[in-house]
Structure 1
Amino acid sequence: MAICLGLLVMVLALALLTNCNGSSKEITADTPRTYATTSTADSNTTSSGTSSTRAPTSTKADGLRTVALTDLPRQAQATVALIDKGGPYPYPRNDDKTFGNFEGLLPKKQRGYYKEYTVATPGSSSRGARRIVAGEDGTMYYTSDHYKSFRRIVR
């Protein structure tokens, strides 16, 4: 009996330890993929012999996961291009406006430091939930769930 109980405890402990880096967040079709934690992008060769670039999942002191610009949905990439160009934006009443960071998920900065931009959502009759938030220093963040989570965009 004691041996069975000991084995059960070990199995549960192992299950908990292997799930420490897991996530309870919902993953959707437009959730960008991220890869191994590194401080710079890695270039790897897959088993099929093709090369792939992997974006780091967390690098800076902000602790946010990252996503490569090329791994973002096509519409998010187009929004980044519009931001770089200075517009015009599809939602002029909402885009290029101050993002308050009320959720506190981005690094703390003075009011007005962040601006938000709509990422078009195909099939949506509204602005949808996807946004790019840009800091004054050029750092950009992507959210697919209307500010519940962010990923820093790596170019």
Structure 2
Amino acid sequence: MTTQVPQTAPGEDWLRLDRQICFSLHAASRAFNGVYRVILKELGLTYPQYLVMLVLWEHGETPVKKLGEHLRLDSGTLSPLLKRLEAAGLVHRERSTRDERSVEVRLTEEGAALRERAAQVPRRIMSATGFTLDEMRDLRSRLDALTTALDAAALEEAPGCH
């Protein structure tokens, strides 16, 4: 597959840091994480723990493998997160009775109850951005489309996938 490289306008240096969308996304992600860190401290959660809780609040009891798929995390990254959430009394892990290779994760009563306190997090994040609800929806949609396009491009570039 031949990739077309856009022509650089005279005097425009595409290798400048301020021209890199990857850096803009990285900087925005770090800024988001900083805001989340402050807000989630009140809930006793880190940002990755919050993401795990979001999946469990939405889907209920979930196999670790499925949880990793939702979060785009491998089990090596997910296991320590779940261990800390379990130590905090928010989740319980148990081998599946249907398939002993699978571990199911479910909320404890305390984990389920935390959802009510977490309900204010998205509003506080939106307030921190200064964006309207429509702008937030549009940004999320564009980022989802970007992720899909980049996932597809990565598959095309992977050895043996041509």
State TM-score, norm by structure 1.
Answer: 0.29
Greater percentage in helix: 2
State TM-score, norm by structure 2.
Answer: 0.28
Greater percentage in strand: 1
